[in-house]
Amino acid sequence: MNILRLFGGLTVSAVVGPMLLAQQHPSNVPPIIPMVTTYDVSSLKYTPRQQDHIAIGDLFFRALHSGHFEIVTNLIEPPDAVNHNPNDPKTPPGLMALLQTRIPEPKALFAEQDQIPSLVLANDNFVVFMWDQKAMGADGKEYPANRFELMRFKDGKIVEHWDVANRRENAQEWKLDWCEKAGRKDCPAR
Amino acid sequence: MKLTRVGLAGMVLLAGGCANLFGESAQETKNRELALSWYRDTIALGHVDQASKYMADDYIEHDPRISGGKAGFVRYYQNASSRPAEAAEITSFGQGDYVVIVWSRDDKDPKTSTPYKYTTYDVVRIKNGKIQEHWNNAKQNTKW
């Protein structure tokens, strides 16, 4: 089992054998939520199972975007996991292969401050992450906007993942080109 | 007496204060139902005359296309061209004062016309039985 240090000095156990995690949490464990927010979140309470899912989801994003694909592989349920994005390969291995073309060498796992969510909501099977971000307007000025990701968990692993991409605002032709040239079978239909 | 799983769940709900099949408390379920009704009536159907039934006077809107709180919301969604097309719900749930609704929407690739699906999100915070705050994934140029 890996011990990973998250924000504010909090420590969480994660990865290898995530099904064990819920059993290891005592019932009085304080919230371990990597969230930096200005919103009123005083009403949010998380069960140990939800905290495990949130920690796994947070690690998934960080590992994916820092090129630690060996960690990502431990967090998803093969072979049926689905990546719902109209521009990306539909399977996590395809998504990782795509990102590996952009991140050939792993970077620091927790260096990406943009990955700290402003709100995390969970029920027994789903976790939604929300981030406060900046978008660029047609006038060249930045404005506040929100990004979201949804994950579904089964037996402590990620089995589905949804983000907010579409083919009008953020069409990414290079991804479709790459997938077809790579001869993959999990490419989205053009 | 033989209890089905659904029947047992119903009894648990009747007990009050217990989690339902989705892990929601009775209040969280009520919040979710409020959020879904608000979305359907005011955003999807454009019945903005019902805004005050659902929304707090000091409502906060985070959608970058809309400014001016509740009045701005009403101005925006009373215009039929602003309203989103029909969508299927992927999931929705309440947690604390918050409700999240995740939608699957149909579109066609602008170049090839190939149908595809994409995902949008709505999150609301509820206070005193009214929608107090709303976030979504819209950008300034979003049309859905």
Structure confidence at residue B13 (pLDDT): 38
Contacts for B2 with CB less than 8 Å, ≥ 6 apart:
none
Task: Quote the minimal CA–CA distance from B111 to chain A in Å.
Answer: 9
Q: What is the pLDDT of residues A96-136, one digit of tens each?
A: 999 999 999 999 887 766 678 999 999 999 999 999 999 99
In which band, very low, low, confident or very high, does the pLDDT at B21 lie, cut at 50, 70 and 90?
Answer: low
pLDDT of residue A171 exceeding 90, the answer is no
pLDDT of residue A2 exceeding 60, the answer is no
Structure confidence at residue A34 (pLDDT): 64
A129/A108 Cα distance (integer angstroms): 21
Q: In the beta sheet, which residues pair with residue B127?
A: B130
Structure confidence at residue B19 (pLDDT): 66
pLDDT of residue A29 exceeding 50, the answer is no
Name the packing angle between helices A48-66 and A92-100 (round to 10°): 40
| Residues of chain A contacting B107 with CB distance shorter than 8 Å | 166-168
For strands A82-84 and A157-162, give the pairing: parallel
Among B22, B64, B100, beta carbon nearest to A144: B64
**Positions of E strands within chain B:** 55-61, 88-95, 98-108, 115-127, 130-136
Structure confidence at residue A79 (pLDDT): 77
| Residues of chain B contacting A171 with CB distance shorter than 8 Å | 110
Under 8 Å CB pairs connecting chains A and B tally to 106
pLDDT of residue A3 exceeding 90, the answer is no
Tokens of B136: 């979504």
Q: Is B11 strand, coil or helix?
A: helix
Task: Quote the minimal CA–CA distance from A105 to chain B in Å.
Answer: 30
To the nearest whole number, what is the mean pLDDT of chain A? 82
Contacts for B85 with CB less than 8 Å, ≥ 6 apart:
B105, B106, B144
Percentage, residues of chain A above pLDDT 70: 80
A96/A161 Cα distance (integer angstroms): 13
- What DSSP character marks residue B44? I
Structure confidence at residue A110 (pLDDT): 79
The A residues from 8 to 37 touching B (CB cutoff 8 Å) are: none
Structure confidence at residue A19 (pLDDT): 38
Mutation to test the A interface, candidates B121, B128, B144, most A Cβ within 10 Å: B121
Partner B contacted by A108 (CB < 8 A): no
Structure confidence at residue B12 (pLDDT): 35
A135/A158 Cα distance (integer angstroms): 28
To the nearest whole number, what is the mean pLDDT of chain B? 88
- What DSSP character marks residue B79? S
The A residues from 112 to 151 touching B (CB cutoff 8 Å) are: 119, 121-124, 126, 128, 130, 135, 137-138, 143-148, 150
Among B112, B117, B141, beta carbon nearest to A138: B141
For strands B130-136 and B55-61, give the pairing: parallel
Q: Which of A26-35, A52-61, A82-91 has the lowest mean pLDDT?
A: A26-35
pLDDT of residue A4 exceeding 80, the answer is no
Mean pLDDT value across residues B109-123:
95
Structure confidence at residue A11 (pLDDT): 37
Q: What is the pLDDT of residues B36-70, one digit of tens each?
A: 999 999 999 999 999 999 999 999 999 999 999 99
Q: What is the pLDDT of residues A34-76, one digit of tens each?
A: 678 899 999 998 888 998 999 899 889 889 989 999 999 999 9
Q: What is the pLDDT of residues B74-88, one digit of tens each?
A: 999 999 899 998 899
Q: Give the residue with greater pLDDT, A14 vs A79.
A: A79
In which band, very low, low, confident or very high, does the pLDDT at A17 lie, cut at 50, 70 and 90?
Answer: very low
